[in-house]
Amino acid sequence: MSSEPVATILTIDDEDVIRRSFQAYLEDSGFQVLQAQNGRIGLDVFREHHPDIILVDLRMPEMDGLEVLATVVREAPEVPIIVVSGTGMIQDAIEALRLGAWDYVLKPVEDLGILEHSVRRALERTKLIKENKAYRENLENLVRRRTSELHDRTLQLEETNQRLHTEIDERKVAEAKYRSIFENAIEGIFQVDHMGKLVSANPAMARILGYPSMQELMGESRDFCSRLCDAPGMKEKFFRVLKDHGSVQALEIQTFRQDGQPMWGSVNAHLVTGKTGETVHFEGTLEDISDHKRFEEQLLHQSLHDALTGLPNRALFTDRLSQAISRCSRQNSFFALLYLDVDRFKVINDSLGHALGDQFLIQLAERLRACTREADTLARLGGDEFAVISEQVRSLSAATMVAERILEEMRAPFVIEGREIYSTVSIGIICCTGYCGSAEEVLRDADLTMYRAKSNGKARYEVFDNALHEQTIKLLTMETELRRAMARGEFELHYQPIVDVDTGSVMCLEALIRWKHPERGYTPPLDFIPLAEENGLIVPLGWWVLEESCRQLALFQARFPRPKPLTMSVNISAKQFSQADLGQKLKALLQSSNIVPGSLELEITESVIMDRGEAAIGRLEELKSLGLRLFVDDFGTGYSSLSYLHRFPIDMLKIDRSFIREIDATGGHTEIVRAIVGLGRNLGLGLIAEGVETEAQLAVIRTLGCQLAQGYLFSKPKPAAEIEEYLAQHND
Residues 246-275 that bind Ca ion (CB under 5 A): none
Per partner kind, with CB cut-offs from 5 to 8 A, the member of Ca ion, ligand C2E, none near residue 717 is: ligand C2E
- Phi, psi of 99, rounded to the nearest 5 degrees: -75, -15
Which residue's CB comes closest to Ca ion? 603
End-to-end CA distance of the chain: 179
Which region, judged by CB under 6 A, interacts with ligand C2E, from 267-275, 359-367, 402-410, 711-719? 711-719
Per partner kind, with CB cut-offs from 5 to 8 A, the member of ligand C2E, Ca ion, none near residue 573 is: ligand C2E
Q: Which amino acid is residue 725, in one-letter code?
A: E
H-helix or E-strand containing 126? helix 112-184
Does residue number 711 form part of the binding site for ligand C2E (CB under 6 A)? yes
Q: Which C-beta is closer to ligand C2E: that of 571 or that of 599?
A: 571
Does residue number 490 form part of the binding site for ligand C2E (CB under 6 A)? no
Pairing of strands 247-256, 262-273: antiparallel
Does residue number 576 form part of the binding site for Ca ion (CB under 5 A)? no
**What is the closest distance, in whole angstroms, from the C-beta atom of residue 626 to ligand C2E in the complex?**
19
Q: Are 83 and 105 in contact (CB under 8 A)?
A: yes
Choose, by CB under 6 A, the member of 478, 512, 687, 723 that binds ligand C2E. 512
**Separation CA 556–CA 719 (nearest Å):** 13
Letter string b/e over residues 462-481, b meaning 16 or more CB atoms within 10 A of that residue's CB: bbbeeebbeebeebeebbeb
Choose, by CB under 5 A, the member of 632, 633, 635, 640 that binds Ca ion. 633
Nearest 5°: the CA angle 195, 199, 201 is 130
**Separation CA 306–CA 27 (nearest Å):** 137
Decide: residue 374, CB within 10 A, 0-12 exposed, 13-18 middle, 19+ buried. Answer: exposed
Does residue number 497 form part of the binding site for ligand C2E (CB under 6 A)? no
Q: Which C-beta is closer to ligand C2E: that of 220 or that of 651?
A: 651
Choose, by CB under 6 A, the member of 219, 434, 518, 524 that binds ligand C2E. 524
Choose, by CB under 6 A, the member of 101, 513, 531, 663 that binds ligand C2E. 513
Per partner kind, with CB cut-offs from 5 to 8 A, the member of ligand C2E, Ca ion, none near residue 478 is: none
**Separation CA 5–CA 24 (nearest Å):** 19
H-helix or E-strand containing 256? strand 247-256
Task: Tell which residue, 306, 328, 341, has the closest CA to residue 438.
Answer: 328
Residues 328-387 that bind ligand C2E (CB under 6 A): none
**What is the closest distance, in whole angstroms, from the C-beta atom of residue 377 to Ca ion in the complex?**
51
Does residue number 655 form part of the binding site for ligand C2E (CB under 6 A)? no
Task: Tell which residue, 655, 584, 566, 578, has the closest CA to residue 616.
Answer: 578
Pairing of strands 377-382, 385-390: antiparallel
Per partner kind, with CB cut-offs from 5 to 8 A, the member of ligand C2E, Ca ion, none near residue 80 is: none
Residue 701 CB neighbours (<10 A): 27
Taking the CA atoms of the chain, what radius of gyration do you get in angstroms?
Answer: 67
Contact pattern for Ca ion over residues 450 through 469, marking x by CB under 5 A = --------------------
Choose, by CB under 6 A, the member of 529, 590, 626, 663 that binds ligand C2E. 529
Question: Which residues, 6 or more positions from 453, have their beta carbon under 8 angstroms from its beta carbon?
Answer: 426, 427, 428, 460, 461, 462
**What is the closest distance, in whole angstroms, from the C-beta atom of residue 513 to ligand C2E in the complex?**
4
Q: Are 427 and 444 in contact (CB under 8 A)?
A: no
Residues 569-628 that bind ligand C2E (CB under 6 A): 571, 573, 603
Choose, by CB under 6 A, the member of 634, 635, 670, 687 that binds ligand C2E. 634
Residue 143 CB neighbours (<10 A): 12
- Phi, psi of 100, rounded to the nearest 5 degrees: 130, 10
- Phi, psi of 31, rounded to the nearest 5 degrees: -100, 160
Q: Are 528 and 480 in contact (CB under 8 A)?
A: no
Residue 190 CB neighbours (<10 A): 24
Which region, judged by CB under 6 A, interacts with ligand C2E, from 28-36, 174-182, 331-339, 686-694? 686-694
Residues 675-704 that bind Ca ion (CB under 5 A): 690
**What is the closest distance, in whole angstroms, from the C-beta atom of residue 323 to ligand C2E in the complex?**
46
Does residue number 525 form part of the binding site for ligand C2E (CB under 6 A)? yes
Choose, by CB under 6 A, the member of 712, 719, 725, 728 that binds ligand C2E. 712
Does residue number 603 form part of the binding site for Ca ion (CB under 5 A)? yes
Does residue number 606 form part of the binding site for Ca ion (CB under 5 A)? no
Query: Could you please report the per-residue DSSP string of 260-283?
Result: S-EEEEEEEEEEEE-TTS-EEEEE
**What is the closest distance, in whole angstroms, from the C-beta atom of residue 634 to ligand C2E in the complex?**
6
Does residue number 500 form part of the binding site for ligand C2E (CB under 6 A)? no
Residues within the interface to ligand C2E (CB under 6 A): 496, 512-513, 524-526, 529, 542, 545, 571, 573, 603, 633-634, 657, 691-693, 710-712, 717
Q: Would you tell me which residues interact with Ca ion (CB under 5 A)?
A: 571, 603, 633-634, 690
